[in-house]
Amino acid sequence: MHPALLLAAAAALSPGRGIPETLATDRAAHIRGLRYDLTFHIPEAKSAPIHASETVRFDLAAPRQVILDFEQKRALILAVKIGGKTVPFDFLDGHIILPAAATHAGENAIEIEFVAGDESLNRNPEFLYTLSVPARAHYAFPCFDQPSLKARYTLTLDIPSAWQVTANGAETGRRSAGDRTTVKFAETKPLPTYLFAFAAGKFQVETAERNGRTFRMFHRETDAAKVARNRDAIFDLHARAVSWLEDYTAIPYPWGKFDFVLIPSFQFGGMEHAGAILYNASGLMLDASATQNQLLGRASVISHETAHMWFGDLVTMRWFNDVWMKEVMANFMAAKIVNPSFPEINHDLRFLLSHYPAAYDVDRTAGSNPIRQQLSNLDEAGSLYGAIIYDKAPIVMRQLEMIAGERGFRDGMRDYLKRYSFGNATWVDLVNILEARNPGQVANWSHAWVDQRGRPEITTTLGDDVTLTQHDPLGRNLIWPQRLKVTAGWPGRVQHFDVAMNGATAKIPAANPLYVLPNGGGLGYGLFQLDPATLRYLLDQVEDIADPLTRGAAWVDLWEELLEGRVSAAQLLDTAARALPQEPDEQNTQRILTDVVRSFWHELPPDQRTARAPELERQLRAGLAGAPTASRKSSWFNAYRDVVLTPDGLAWLERVWRRDEKIDGLTFAEPDEIDMALNLALREVAGWQQILTAQRDRTQNPDRKARFEFVMPSLSADPAVREQSFERFRTLANRQHEAWVLEAERYLNHPLRAPESRRFVRPALDLLPEIQRTGDIFFPKRWMDATLSGHRSPEAAAEVRQYFAAHPELPERLRWVVLSAADDLLRSAARATARKP
């Protein structure tokens, strides 16, 4: 080896852990014509190492240092060669660093032999599958793990002969020798690393032809009747989505073949690997008793993943800060494809109730973030996900379509997809296309809605006409341009007004109405501070509003008014008690019952709880008795179970749990009985220990039994046992089942236990950074929600403030997590302090 080479190698600096944006930008600027030729030898045994090799080919304009990502021990890199000769390299912080002297202008081909890491290979006893989003491909093989370096992949898999296999490319050949088979796949079109995929194992394969295209479904379902019942519907839904998207985008399906794999207990609903989509099996293979919601959910997830074949796969975000775009577009397209097939569902109301409250829960807080965020390293990409991406962004995208018009929006999308096909684009690229088509309307709009956090406050003034005024509560003087459908009501008459609110105020020709709801048509987004007449009207007769969508919007507004301190919990509960029996729409009933439970526990002072309990229980029992369907009965019953406090009420619940009492039209499954037992124990009814042990013993499903045993100690009436229950969470191994931890943590911090569990608040905050490091993307926020949602005392609020004071170094994103989870607590503590003389 030449001494100069050694010196160069020794002097290499680490680009830092993870995938820093600076590294990604630099590589994208210099690497061209990227190709991977990959071979994996997959043993039958899940624990045996996967030997692998690759050739990475790319063009350089001039010799330069090359940094590949491989997040494994150095020992797993067996050889790095160029032209068959071993080359020196550094290995720092998960990066293979080749000196400039090892490269040359023109095509470079680096040959690497290695052992693939298991982290993104999801190895099970009879199958495995890749899942690399957002940047986990480099756990499995050395690569440039960033979305802006799209590559063509040629894959060879050596697998047990009894296994089935699929990958992005079409199979081009196979050769068997003994119990091993080697399968070769065609070179792919350009793909980002997060979409490179294969799945192999013991699968059944179903094939179907639709519109001249062959679809293949890989699955592990053993119930042949279930497969027979579902297969045609699953193929039809895919075929329909493909045709719809080809028509909408004016671009033929880009990936040649179309396979999909149904994975048991898959991490997500689906993952859009080009040409080889993965799904959670239970979302597609439905039982005969599937509800309308499950059917809608299946159609939606299939359309969502299929839409990604264009939105995300064909055109990919340059960096993960724009991941929200592909998610929103996929949902947006899915709704267009699917909703017309479910005419009995009020889709506008569903959109309102599923997105607005969740978006407001973050956006009203000091922990809100813009839709488009900075992301300096892909190892933080998980923290981008949350209600702002999943719930605010769809609302915003709907506004964008209104600005451009349906046809204009579609044509803009066609431009965008065509211009950036097989490449990358940013949100700004899309804004530029739409701004050119709608001059002056899109860029400003995007600045307020996408680049900035928070929401406008919109006040209404009634008179000879109605005036809407918006202002920026964060003092930036931001104007949020938006389309509103304003509803105004007079005795015996209702009118909707389409309003484009592009400035600080808007006037509506509605003289002296009884009430005005600026978001009555379910479009507007903001904090709507209702005028006094409207607020009075809603509290007195919200149920008189005939349109279910407008009623739903009114309930969303009432909740915001409650948090603003302009409506009391008692007023809200009285209004709900009167309105609920007359509410014909199941979605609204569900929403109001949720508000009732939340007000009862979190907003009502504890002494008023006891006073209100008997009447509230009576109302919920009456609702249960009168509800016409099982699903409505179950909403009423769950609300009852969650609030019940009186001895008589608890005795009835206990009889139901003991199966001594039947409820007409409602049957309980094991999870329902578990929830009853836990709630009885939480209330410390006589014999609560026996109830818990009896429930444990009667639980049949082993997963549920294990979960129940895990949660049980957090329900103990003995504070020492609860203390131990909390202490468990400090150990990573005890946090493996995040859903279990969250359930236990919620019970520990239930309002009934809040005074004693206040001492867990600080330790839970102290654990947060570790939880973020070790947990799934949604865990940090859910952990804080589970901890803080039960607390409303000034003392608990002080714990949060002291934590902030003690940790000025807390990363911004974690600060946001705490601030948004603590918002209700900090608000009510502030109200309590204000009430004190």
Q: Which stretch binds Zn ion (CB under 5 A): 325-333, 439-447, 554-562, 667-675?
A: 325-333
Stretch that binds Zn ion, among 97-105, 322-330, 443-451, 542-550 (CB under 5 A): 322-330
Q: Applying CB under 5 A, does 133 fall inside the site for Zn ion?
A: no
Near Zn ion by CB under 5 A, which window of 326-334, 521-529, 662-670, 733-741?
326-334
- Distance in angstroms (rounded) separating the CA atoms of residues 218 and 396: 36
d(CA 333, CA 338): 9
- Kindly identify the residues of this chain, within the stretch 178-237, that bind Zn ion according to CB under 5 A: none
Nearer to Zn ion, 276 or 711 (CB): 276
d(Cα 557, Cα 542) in Å, to the nearest integer? 11
CA angle, residues 760, 766, 771, in degrees to nearest 5: 105
Phi, psi (degrees; rounded to nearest 5) at 578: -80, -40
Cα separation of 441 and 434, whole Å? Answer: 9
CB of 301 to Zn ion, least distance (A): 9
Secondary structure element (H or E) that encloses residue 169, with its range: none
CB atoms within 10 A of CB 317: 20
Nearer to Zn ion, 279 or 480 (CB): 279
Closest residue to Zn ion, judged by C-beta, is 330
CB of 268 to Zn ion, least distance (A): 8
Which residue lies nearer to Zn ion by CB, 304 or 364?
304
With beta carbons less than 8 A apart as the criterion, state whether 594 and 580 touch: no
In terms of phi and psi (left: phi > 0; alpha: psi -120 to 50; beta: otherwise), the region of 243 is alpha
Q: Which stretch binds Zn ion (CB under 5 A): 206-214, 327-335, 563-571, 629-637?
A: 327-335
In angstroms, give the least distance from the CB of 248 to Zn ion: 17
Do residues 476 and 452 touch, judged by C-beta distance below 8 A? yes
3-state SS of 283-304 is HHCCCCCCCHHHHHHHHHHHHH
The residue among 545, 520, 415 whose CA lies nearest residue 460 is 520
When the beta carbons of 416 and 657 are compared against Zn ion, the nearer one is: 416
Which amino acid is residue 324, in one-letter code? W
> Is the Cβ of residue 41 or residue 304 nearer to Zn ion in the bound state?
304
* CA–CA separation, 141 and 113 (whole Å): 10
What's the closest the beta carbon of residue 305 comes to Zn ion, in angstroms?
7
Instruction: List Cβ neighbours of 631 (8 Å cut-off, separation of 6 or more).
Output: 291, 586
Closest separation in Å from C-beta 304 to Zn ion:
6
Nearer to Zn ion, 70 or 260 (CB): 260
Map the footprint of Zn ion across residues 341-400, applying CB under 5 A: none
Report the nearest approach of Zn ion to the CB of residue 308 (Å). 6
Q: How far apart are CA 542 and CA 810, in angstroms?
A: 44
Please say which residue, 327 or 531, places its beta carbon nearer to Zn ion.
327
Q: How far is the CB of 492 from Zn ion (least distance, A)?
A: 46
Q: β-pairing, 270-271 with 276-280?
A: antiparallel
For the CB of residue 296, give the shortest distance to Zn ion in the complex, in Å: 17
Q: Which is nearer to Zn ion, 223 or 776 (CB)?
A: 776
**Nearest approach, Cβ of residue 317 and Zn ion (Å):** 12
Range 512-541, binding Zn ion (CB under 5 A): none
CB closer to Zn ion, 115 vs 777: 777
- In whole angstroms, the minimum distance from the beta carbon of 778 to Zn ion comes to 15
**Interaction between residue 330 and Zn ion (CB under 5 A):** yes
Contact 449, 396 (CB under 8 A): yes
* Calculated CA dihedral for residues 684, 687, 688, 691, nearest 10 degrees: -150
Which strands form 50-60's sheet, in the order they lie side by side? 85-86, 77-82, 106-116, 50-60, 32-41, 152-160, 180-185, 171-177
Q: How far is the CB of 76 from Zn ion (least distance, A)?
A: 31
Judged by beta carbon, residue 334 or residue 681, the one nearer Zn ion is: 334
Query: What number of chain residues touch Zn ion (CB under 5 A)?
Result: 2
Bond from prior residue into 794 cis (ω within 30 degrees of 0): no
Can you read off the two tokens belonging to residue 698?
């009667």
Cross-strand partners of 712:
none
Q: How far is the CB of 302 from Zn ion (least distance, A)?
A: 12
Query: Nearest approach, Cβ of 330 to Zn ion (angstroms)?
Result: 5
The C-alpha R_g of the chain, in whole angstroms, comes to 29
- Quote the longest CA-to-CA distance of the chain: 92
- Listed ranges 330-338, 371-379, 633-641, 728-736: which one lies at the site for Zn ion (CB under 5 A): 330-338
Distance separating alpha carbons of residues 284 and 585, to the nearest angstrom: 27
Q: How far is the CB of 312 from Zn ion (least distance, A)?
A: 7
Please say which residue, 149 or 302, places its beta carbon nearer to Zn ion: 302
Residue closest to 77 by CA, chosen among 91, 92, 56, 98: 91
Cβ of 79: how many Cβ atoms within 10 Å? 11
Q: Which stretch binds Zn ion (CB under 5 A): 321-329, 516-524, 531-539, 635-643?
A: 321-329
First CA to last CA distance, the chain: 82
CB of 393 to Zn ion, least distance (A): 12
Region from 181-189, 249-257, 328-336, 372-380 binding Zn ion, contact rule CB under 5 A? 328-336
Q: Of the two residues 327 and 799, which places its CB atom closer to Zn ion in the complex?
A: 327
Say which residues have a Cβ less than 8 Å from residue 427's Cβ, sequence separation at least 6.
317, 322, 325, 372, 446, 450
Q: Which is nearer to Zn ion, 270 or 775 (CB)?
A: 270
Instruction: Give whichever of 157 and 330 is closer to Zn ion, judged by the CB atom.
Output: 330
Please state the closest distance from residue 442 (CB atom) to Zn ion, in A. Answer: 24
Listed in sequence order, the residues at least 6 apart from 620 whose beta carbon sits closer than 8 Å to its beta carbon are: 636, 639, 640, 643
**Piece of 80-88, 329-337, 436-444, 829-837 that binds Zn ion (CB under 5 A):** 329-337
The nearer residue to Zn ion, 138 or 326, going by C-beta atoms, is 326
Kindly state the smallest distance separating residue 272's Cβ from Zn ion, in Å. Answer: 6
Tokens standing for residue 421: 């096909």
Q: Tell me the pairing of strands 457-461 and 527-529.
A: parallel
Closer residue to Zn ion (CB): 326 or 827 = 326
Q: Residue 448 interacts with Zn ion (CB under 5 A)?
A: no
Between 327 and 654, CB nearer to Zn ion: 327
Query: What is the contact surface with Zn ion in residues (CB under 5 A)?
Result: 327, 330
